[in-house]
Structure 1
Amino acid sequence: MTTVVTAELLDRVRERLASSAEDPTPALVASAVRIEAGGVIGDTDLLDALRVLQTELTGAGPLETLLVDPRVADVLVTSPHEVWVDRGEGLERSAVRFADDAAVRRLAQRLALSAGRRLDDAQPWVDGQLPGVGDGTFGVRLHAVLAPIARGGTCLSLRVLRPTTQGLDALAARGAITPDALVLLRRMIVARLAFLVVGGTGAGKTTMLAALLGEVAPTERIVCVEDAAELAPAHPHVVRLVARAPNVEGIGEVTVRQLVRQALRMRPDRLVVGEVRGAEVVDLLTALNTGHDGGAGTIHANSPAEVPPRLEALAALGGMDRGALHSQLAAAVQVVLHVHRAHDGARRLREIAVVVPDADGAVTIVPAWSAHGHVDRGRELFDAMVERRTT
């Protein structure tokens, strides 16, 4: 900053712009700078002020350069001087810095407003999706918590949602899928077995799901329901329905569960829920049990064995008890795929398992293929399932 363009001047300009109902165009920002400077400001100082303010007021501010990097999956701000980025090989500290916590707070509040959400001392956290970031080819999911709830200062978490278009062959070429597993996955798709892709955060669930959907016959119609637009399978006939959060007045919400019900009226050959994380599991399982073979979805779980208890908890949100959940699951889903993110950042298929009901009706998950070795019993069950569907 110069002796003319001081922090105090910029603060006054910010306040003036914040009180205006107009978009902060360059002309409006320049006018505000001149007014707050008392009309006496040179071209060089004006350009300096515009450069600082435009960085704050457009896109994602100083984080924009990180978000447009095609390798970036997450950008995390934990304090003004701690901005972390994940480029697919784990978190690393970036060179981006903010002047102070007030600058982080201003950015968080502006992004929240862009997402149609409220963020202030009365509502100190927000979760939403940002429009118009970067070149428009990707989305960004926003989460922010203000101080003093966040003790070290305002925290920002930005997850980059890039459309996933890689096919199974591309995943196999980079080592995410072994050749023998690739054969099983293609047999699963041809047999129209319903499946869930499970794994932890950032394990590559959506990438795997999109690649598998790309293997579906082009004559089939796929209807995808998502909380945030991520799936972009390389398939000629895909309908994408995306949920919507309520606006600042608390109205206008469209839930995943509502969209699953709408999808059933759209003649889907394959019904897909991008991420099952709520009561919509009830509607999905019901749909898969009423003639919609070959459906799919993803779910957060650290192993296939964790899927039944995880679904029990979600089904309870929709009023379905444990017994009913296991009965529906056994009839609706045949295969569970586990993807894992290693310490080096590599994402790989770790296990293929089959869903098998026991004598009491409870579901068990039996491994059919493992990256660590062949599994005989589960493989026999998998082969039998495929055989029944293809003969």
Structure 2
Amino acid sequence: MSLPFVVRPREGTGGADAAGGGVPGRGRRPAVLDVLSPFIDDPDVSDVFVNGAQGLFVDRGAGPRRADGWCAGEDEVRDLAVHLIGAGGRHIDDATPCVDVRLEGGIRVHAVLPPISPEGTLISLRIPRLGTPTLDDLAATGMFDRGAQRALEQLVAGRANLLVSGAAGAGKTTLLAALLSAAPAHERIVTIEDVAELRLSHPHHARLEARQANLEGAGEIALARLVREALRMRPDRLVVGECRGAEVRELLSALNTGHDGGAGTVHANGLGEVATRLEALGALAGLTDHALARQVTSAIDVVLHVERSAAARRLAGAGRPRLAATGRLEIIPVDLEEVAHR
């Protein structure tokens, strides 16, 4: 592949190690990422966006900012998208114009081709800031204080079923990985993800990743099926990286049948919106609001909500699921340390 892209490296970010990628904890990476190395090797960068020929933007914690010195035409950006998706073992073309993959080293790539993206090929890269985060690591970054850390450790040790909520990029996966890394070493953790992102500091971690349909529309293995398969693998902790559809029914059913210590994440902009989001997912799985409420209140012990500000990602609150007087689900804010001591 020719690489006609023009980038102007910032001081101190050039000269990435071609074999290892130059960033601690990120491991080896495909050569196609070399054109993006000035940004990927910057430890402050969490996201990189290429908006066709319109430019490249990077997020260093204060929102996306245009990168000076980047120059690429639409054909070049499309070529980059095809090679990035190919490096992740998947295929993107006009018949399959939207694809999500994980590259070696943990970088997640999402690409969309025209005409789905009318202004040109769109590429989004999520770059892990910590290789295998621990609760100590996150406390050091200011996500929570030491009191909250002790409470989180107690919840994990007590095998509480946890749901981590937050907006995109708020740190849900990062917090979930740290929580699971705190589980006892003798436990078997089975994680199920659409695109495998969870990287744990744990000796017994089995990963399952969903598979998209091939060009003929066959061969898809969805998250809901993987949850059922995981139950046959004798997990001590069953985890769904992100609940976004019918798999929420299988996860809740599993956690209601003796699989303590499980966890998952869900998109929500606030703790008070988690109930509405779960009801929407439950509807996709054929659950009524009342049935969903009963499932969640018996399956989930604590909801942890994370938020992202210009300064940092932080644990913004905790809540307990409860049946409202109407029979629907509601999430009641609670003091995390009090809940952990019960």
Shared topology, TM-score over 0.5? Answer: yes
Measure, in 2, the Cα distance between the counterparts of 1:155 and 1:166. 29
Measure, in 1, the Cα distance between the counterparts of 2:206 and 2:326. 39
2:149 is equivalent to residue 182 of structure 1: yes
2:313 paired residue among 325, 347, 368: 347
Question: Kindly tell me: are residues 191 and 361 of structure 1, through their superposed partners in 2, closer, same or farther at Cα, counting changes over 3 Å?
Answer: farther
SS state of the match for residue 232, structure 2?
A: coil
2:74 is equivalent to residue 106 of structure 1: no
2:299 is equivalent to residue 326 of structure 1: no
SS state of the match for residue 228, structure 2?
A: helix
Measure, in 2, the Cα distance between the counterparts of 1:213 and 1:305. 25
Q: Which residue of 1 aligns with 2:177?
A: 210
C-alpha deviation, 1:125, in angstroms? 3.1
SS state of the match for residue 206, structure 2?
A: strand
Amino acid of the structure 1 residue aligned with 2:155: M
Measure, in 2, the Cα distance between the counterparts of 1:80 and 1:195. 42
2:92 is equivalent to residue 118 of structure 1: yes
Q: Is the 8 A contact 1:195 1:295 kept in 2?
A: yes
2:331 is equivalent to residue 368 of structure 1: no
Deviation per CA, 1:311-346: give whole Å up to 9, x if none. Answer: 1111111111111110100100010001110123x0
Deviation per CA, 1:330-365: give whole Å up to 9, x if none. Answer: 100010001110123x00111021222234543321
Measure, in 1, the Cα distance between the counterparts of 2:117 and 2:221. 29
Amino acid of the structure 1 residue aligned with 2:306: V
2:109 paired residue among 100, 120, 141: 141
SS state of the match for residue 88, structure 1?
A: coil
Q: Which residue of 2 aligns with 1:265?
A: 232
Q: Is the 8 A contact 2:32 2:83 kept in 1?
A: no
Q: Which residue of 1 aligns with 2:120?
A: 153
Measure, in 2, the Cα distance between the counterparts of 1:140 and 1:250. 24
Counting aligned pairs with the same residue, the percent is 44
Q: Which residue of 2 aligns with 1:313?
A: 280
Deviation per CA, 1:255-297: give whole Å up to 9, x if none. Answer: 1111111111111111111111111000000000000012101
2:132 paired residue among 160, 165, 169: 165
Amino acid of the structure 2 residue aligned with 1:118: I
Return the index of the structure with the highest Cα Rg. 1
Q: Which residue of 2 aligns with 1:338?
A: 305
Measure, in 1, the Cα distance between the counterparts of 2:86 and 2:187. 40
SS state of the match for residue 80, structure 1?
A: helix
Question: Kindly tell me: are residues 248 and 74 of structure 1, through their superposed partners in 2, closer, same or farther at Cα, counting changes over 3 Å?
Answer: farther
Q: Is the 8 A contact 2:85 2:109 kept in 1?
A: no
SS state of the match for residue 179, structure 2?
A: helix
Aligned-CA RMSD value: 2.7
Amino acid of the structure 1 residue aligned with 2:304: L
Q: Which residue of 2 aligns with 1:33?
A: none
Give unmatched runs, 5+ long, in structure 1: 1-23, 25-49, 371-378
Q: Is the 8 A contact 1:275 1:298 kept in 2?
A: yes
Q: Which residue of 2 aligns with 1:18?
A: none
C-alpha deviation, 1:60, in angstroms? 4.0
Amino acid of the structure 1 residue aligned with 2:77: V
Amino acid of the structure 2 residue aligned with 1:305: G
Measure, in 1, the Cα distance between the counterparts of 2:170 and 2:185. 28
C-alpha deviation, 1:161, in angstroms? 5.2
Q: Is the 8 A contact 1:112 1:126 kept in 2?
A: no
SS state of the match for residue 105, structure 1?
A: helix
Greater Cα offset, 355-364 or 308-317: 355-364
Deviation per CA, 1:117-175: give whole Å up to 9, x if none. Answer: 3323xx483122154xxxx322332222325x544333322333577511111211221
SS state of the match for residue 265, structure 1?
A: helix
SS state of the match for residue 297, structure 1?
A: strand
Measure, in 1, the Cα distance between the counterparts of 2:123 and 2:265. 25
- The structure carrying a bigger helix percent of its residues is 1
Question: Kindly tell me: are residues 68 and 255 of structure 1, through their superposed partners in 2, closer, same or farther at Cα, counting changes over 3 Å?
Answer: farther
Q: Is the 8 A contact 1:125 1:145 kept in 2?
A: yes
